[in-house]
Structure 1
Amino acid sequence: MMKFSNIGISKELQDVLQKNRITEPTPIQAQTIPVILKSKDVMAQAQTGTGKTLAFLLPMLEKIDSNKGTVQGLIVTPTRELAIQITNEAKKLQEAKNINILAAYGGQDVEKQINKLKGGIHLVIGTPGRLADHLRRKTINFKNLKTLVLDEADQILDMGFIHEIEEIINNSNKGRQTLFFSATLTKKVKSLSGKYMRKPEFIKVESQKVTLDEIQQIVIETTDRLKQDALCHAIDEHKPFMAIIFCRTKRRAQILNEALNERGYDSDELHGDLSQPKRQRVMKKFRDLKLQFLVATDIAARGLDIDGMSYVFNYDIPEDAESYIHRIGRTGRAGKDGVAITFVAPKDQNLLTDIEQGIEMKIQKQRYEKDGSDNSFVEVKKASKPKKKEFHKKGTDFKRKGNKFGKNKRTKR
């Protein structure tokens, strides 16, 4: 069995990991940590749920000198939520190395951040906009930076932060180590790496296990007009303990959340139009199990690890297989079973075909029909989770016995 001691992690950090019941490295950690400790630039491709946060946090902490009161580590994330989550993970390890950590993202009091920066911060975790703002104010200094990490690099660039990222890089120590962690190596990511990285080592970890082995996947074919009824019927049938419901836009998330509230469901919304305090309150309620349904845009799809997530509903089908994997990866974590239900209108059939090709399997299909007061699910095609050997060798048709919804089942209105 691989141990953290075998890949260069100090006993102090190992002891803290042990307290948090982390005893052996994941594949992404085992492959990247030794390379990062050698101060090489790294491009790491791994899906959500593979343990990549510790893959860059652990070697960064090993390299920081707590006796020097300068910013030596910088982690840039696309969203405030991810910055908060990584900060919480870093603070669990803080005691081992006696370092000072600052989370810098929008929605916070910038003056408080400035005051903290005067106190000898070693590691900064932040979003591109707020970090660029500090640079322009001359309240942060990256001239002594040892390691720069772009986490979810593809999403950062897709969100249009290229100018902020280049400003951050150009104002950092030229001899720094640069690490890109990304689910997909898009043209934008490759272009940025070619411009700012020195002979990076490429590491890729597959994660089909997250997608296939632990998650039951179902497609419900319906229409845009009936989609809301189909969602509510699925919720009533499955009775999820807690679930994320994904929408494509902020406006659709707002409308759906209002409709669910009117129907008596315990839901709230999470998207980019909310203030930071509101977003934090919503996430805290959801994590504390005081909220059953979170209606969200893809801002919640990456990096957020929420215990107890049993279901993901794709109210709007994602636009590609990678996004689908990120969304449904919110459930079926840590060896637990999960269910992902995707609603597909006739106009979405091409997207569904692309997703099935991307994950190399056919998804179990049902059709939602409504006739007067009758609501029912009708089986279209049955499929089951593939056996691991059969999937990797054949990737062909799968059959499933039984139907969790049942046929022509009525619900009370």
Structure 2
Amino acid sequence: MTSTTFHTLGITEDLSSRLAEFGIVTPSPVQAEAIPPILEGKDVLATSQTGTGKTLAYLLPVLQSIDPEIKGAQKLILAPTQELAVQIVRESERYGETRGIGVLGLIGGAAAKRQIEKLKSHPQLIVGTPGRVRELIEIRKLKMHQVTTIVVDEVDQVFNLGGAGDVDRILRSALRDRQLVFLSATVSPETAELVKKEMDQPVEIGIDPEQRTPSALEHYYFVTEERDKLDMLRRVVRHYNPDRAIVFVNATEDLAEVEAKLNYLGLNAAAIYGDADKMTRSRVLNAFREGRTKLLVASDVAARGLDIEGLGMVINYDPPIDAEHYTHRAGRTGRMGRSGMAITLVTDRQTFIMRKFNRELGISIEERALYGGKVRTPRSAPPDRRSGARGPAGGTARKDKPAGKPASISAQGKAGGGKASGERQSERERDRKNKGAPKWLKNKPPRG
């Protein structure tokens, strides 16, 4: 049986050779499925988990179909975030340079005046964020009359970040018979509706639709009390000692606090903010990519579309708000078949979230506990060590009660050493059991 190569998929020799220079010889499943129909000019909706090579799946046929002799925008790629757009520009330049293809990034947050100036060189491939691309179309600086293909990468994220109106306006400005390619890890009802409305008999590609996170990923969660979460994070990082890891928090206002506390503990952390200017974000990300920063503290918005090569671990300091967010967070690691680990810190009351993600994503998120300097399954750890208790491993264990002393006030009462105290304990116990009961039931006298 002949193995599939980029050449057999229809990719030209020069591009195949360029791929080989970077060690890419065998197409991933999504590339093998998507490249032929995109080359044929068909509309395509490709759904594949993050880290499976979706970028090259559309970029190679897009570059191959550009005529470098024709000046002006021929292809447009939209991405939800600055970072993903910059990454696509980098890949486009890497593989398009030898073909004489001009690439320009039109990214929000950068100076529009400079971008307008660069448009005068008539680049053939435009990569941008929806808001900035729409802005330049409306002031007639970006001409769409020659654009034959529009790609929307991570289309669900585009919609989640409020870009649906921008995408609609961009599509209205283009040729009526343009080719559309939508790619995403998940397909929301909004995306499905847009596909139905805009695409002409689309080719639908679904790679492992039931497997929404990378198969090489290990998923674990650690139970701890809310007040001990930072200490548990410290212990997890010290134990696994990843070269780099992304730490996800849910609330943007918590970023600075978590960053500061991690640095105080000597863990070399930096936070990335969604509203930071392009230069600041770029500086923080470069330090993380190069290994000068060990932990990148980020919210979901700030980390959208991040692709950090060789990232081995993500840690959810706060559990994600839903299964889709878990998918996107976990997808930052274990990319292109590499191993990776996703760790979540939860309180006792949040363990149900892990069971919910297990069911919805069809994966196994296993509970682990840190005790005695080792990671154990909860069954093999003493019961009082499961919640981040500090014993020999250095957590926050409860102090053992001195020998010979009664374990509780109620026990004292039974021993005859404090009847009044025992009665107070009974009253408190009765109140605890009656919590939430109607008033008439709380006041009902006890039987007998």
Q: CA separation in 2, counterparts of 1:212 and 1:97?
A: 33
Query: Does the 8 A contact of 2:51 with 2:334 survive in 1?
Result: no
Provide the residue aligned with 1:323 in structure 2: 325
In structure 2, what residue type is equivalent to 1:48? T
Q: CA separation in 2, counterparts of 1:9 and 1:377?
A: 47
Deviation at 1:337, TM superposition (A): 2.9
Q: CA separation in 2, counterparts of 1:256 and 1:34?
A: 46
Structure 1 residues 306 and 129, CA, compared in 2 at 3 Å: closer, same or farther? same
Provide the residue aligned with 1:386 in structure 2: none
Instruction: Specify the structure having the higher radius of gyration (Cα).
Output: 2
Q: CA separation in 1, counterparts of 2:7 and 2:338?
A: 28
Q: CA separation in 2, counterparts of 1:335 and 1:182?
A: 18
Deviation at 1:407, TM superposition (A): 9.6
User: Is 1:16 matched with 2:24?
Assistant: no
Q: Deviations over 1:286-336 (max 9, x none)?
A: 111111110011246554332332221111111233322322222233444
Q: CA separation in 2, counterparts of 1:229 and 1:207?
A: 37
Provide the residue aligned with 1:346 in structure 2: 348
Provide the residue aligned with 2:270 in structure 1: 268
In structure 1, what residue type is equivalent to 2:27? P
In structure 2, what residue type is equivalent to 1:67? E
Q: CA separation in 1, counterparts of 2:310 and 2:25?
A: 22
Provide the residue aligned with 1:411 in structure 2: 394
TM-score with structure 1 length normalisation? 0.87
Provide the residue aligned with 1:28 in structure 2: 30
Provide the residue aligned with 2:378 in structure 1: 380
In structure 2, what residue type is equivalent to 1:134? L
Q: CA separation in 1, counterparts of 2:162 and 2:337?
A: 35
Provide the residue aligned with 2:120 in structure 1: 118
Query: Does the 8 A contact of 2:109 with 2:277 survive in 1?
Result: yes
Within-5 A mapping of 1:92-171 = 92-171=94-173
Query: Does the 8 A contact of 1:72 with 1:146 survive in 2?
Result: yes
| Consecutive aligned runs of 4 or more in structure 1 exceeding 6 Å deviation | 207-210, 374-378
Within-5 A mapping of 1:194-343 = 194-206=196-208, 211=213, 213-299=215-301, 301-343=303-345
Q: Which runs of 5+ in 1 are unaligned?
A: 383-402
In structure 2, what residue type is equivalent to 1:66? P
Q: Give the secondary structure class of the aligned counterpart of 2:335.
A: coil
In structure 1, what residue type is equivalent to 2:150? L
Query: Does the 8 A contact of 1:375 with 1:408 survive in 2?
Result: no
Structure 1 residues 55 and 182, CA, compared in 2 at 3 Å: closer, same or farther? same
Q: Give the secondary structure class of the aligned counterpart of 2:51.
A: coil
Deviation at 1:3, TM superposition (A): 0.7
Provide the residue aligned with 2:49 in structure 1: 47
Q: CA separation in 1, counterparts of 2:95 and 2:363?
A: 40
Deviation at 1:95, TM superposition (A): 2.5
Query: Does the 8 A contact of 2:185 with 2:212 survive in 1?
Result: no
Q: Give the secondary structure class of the aligned counterpart of 1:226.
A: helix
Provide the residue aligned with 1:64 in structure 2: 66
In structure 2, what residue type is equivalent to 1:232? R
Q: Deviations over 1:51-98 (max 9, x none)?
A: 000111011111111111121110100000000011111111112321
In structure 1, what residue type is equivalent to 2:128? G
Deviation at 1:367, TM superposition (A): 4.8
Deviation at 1:147, TM superposition (A): 0.5
Q: Give the secondary structure class of the aligned counterpart of 1:103.
A: strand
Deviation at 1:8, TM superposition (A): 0.9
The number of equivalent residue pairs is 388
Q: Give the secondary structure class of the aligned counterpart of 1:44.
A: strand
In terms of mean alpha carbon deviation, does 120-129 or 296-305 score higher?
Answer: 296-305
Q: CA separation in 1, counterparts of 2:66 and 2:375?
A: 57
Q: Give the secondary structure class of the aligned counterpart of 1:285.
A: helix
Task: Provide the alpha-carbon RMSD of the alignment.
Answer: 2.6
Q: Give the secondary structure class of the aligned counterpart of 2:77.
A: strand
Query: Does the 8 A contact of 2:49 with 2:211 survive in 1?
Result: no
Structure 1 residues 368 and 14, CA, compared in 2 at 3 Å: closer, same or farther? closer
Q: Give the secondary structure class of the aligned counterpart of 1:125.
A: strand
Query: Does the 8 A contact of 1:27 with 1:205 survive in 2?
Result: yes
TM-score with structure 2 length normalisation? 0.81
Q: Deviations over 1:253-280 (max 9, x none)?
A: 2221122122222010113121111100
Query: Does the 8 A contact of 1:365 with 1:381 survive in 2?
Result: no
Query: Does the 8 A contact of 1:48 with 1:303 survive in 2?
Result: no
Deviation at 1:207, TM superposition (A): 7.3
Q: Deviations over 1:157-196 (max 9, x none)?
A: 0111111111111111111100110111111101111221
